[in-house]
Structure 1
Amino acid sequence: MSKARMLLLEDDAALAELIAFHFQREDFEVVRTHEGEEALLLAREATPDIVLLDWMVEGLSGIEVCRQLRRQAETQNVPIIMLTARGEEEDRVRGLETGADDYVTKPFSPRELVARVNAVLRRVRPALAGEALSYADIEMDTVGHRVRRGGEVVPLGPTEFRLLKHFLEHPGWVFSRERLLDAVWGHDSDIESRTVDVHIRRLRKAINVGDRPDIIRTVRSAGYALDATG
């Protein structure tokens, strides 16, 4: 497996050094900066596999960097973990709503941070490597554009294919209509958010044929998730 490339935005030099040390020891390539604007430039120059962002940095804040990374096609699906001293629930929710995938409150154990990052990367590595994606009894060949459920071929239109691919890259994660529009249709799209509901219905109809359980969960007032547990 190739080295995972990490982009680290942290303005505490000692903490940045400590984080870089632990991840380089785990064979990560760590690219560091203490400025939000530079973090965006570095992400554009070479798409990272994962991003660690300090919420409170001078200039362009970590949360604004997160927002902008989610708007760019190259980085909209890159996992982002926020590092912050803020522990209030409202702040955690704001960070997650902005597009962060996880949230680690300072002070934290470097070993815990490494474990959290590795857990996220294990979920997205198949997509990064261009390999087959699978979850429960669904299998997707991203190169051959084929989907099977329980071994049977599932015919999907191109939009439903992209929608399912996004879910398979993030199983169990709840995505709002707006996040799905950004990820599947692109942030420049002027399509209405209700269009997502139409394509979710089409996707459900295709993959839930027969007596198969509905694997797409609707989360009231939040969005949708690929979830075989409920």
Structure 2
Amino acid sequence: MDHKEEQEQELEVLKSIYPDEFEEISEGEFRIRLEPEEQDSITPLTLALHIKYTPTYPEEVPEISIETIDGSIDTDEHEKLYSGLMNVAQDSLGMAMVFTLSSLLKDLLTSFVVEREEKRKKEEEDKIKKQIEAEQAKFQGTKVTIASFLEWKENFEKELEEKEKATKSLAIIKKEEAKKSKPTGRQLFEQDESLAKSDMTYMEEGDVTVDVSLFEREDMSDDDDDDTSFLTLS
């Protein structure tokens, strides 16, 4: 059986195994769509094994490529997939190998999805764990050591001293401002002319203004007389 016949027979088998996944592109060139056993509901991943027969296939490795249909794979994942396919292809020289290659790609794809799911779960668990630890730390507080207590005490005393200085300075400033802003009785009297005029409203025409100083001098004279009489009698 020549290479052409072997290739045609393999194509017939592949079409029967993958009736919905097989897509013929041209003569001797096709691709098979592959999905993992358990698809990722959040980030679905679907690949295709692209094969192009060489004239002497299966005596030599066909042209192999990996296409991404749904989702995405990074460079490292792509290299891991391609390296795995090429290793199996080298070991399968001389016989039909496409089914073996497609089965391998599906298995590797499934393992990728499982690894991604496990990684996502671990990240979620770590996030929840950190949240729980943060909440517990609020109630537990910080562990106090001699060094941390002395540091706290020093900072607290400095803060207290600064507050006392600020309070005293504010009190002095307010006191000085009060002194400057508070008017004397005479200033109030002079500023409010209504106070001077108010007494005049109670005085009738003909009333005499009384000079208080006269009474003060008279009282002093009386006191002097009393002192003199006292001395005479004695």
TM-score of the superposed pair, with normalisation by structure 2: 0.28
- Higher strand proportion (structure 1 or 2): 1
Rg: which structure is higher?
2
Q: Which has the higher helix share?
A: 2
> What TM-score does the superposition give when structure 1 sets the normalisation length?
0.28
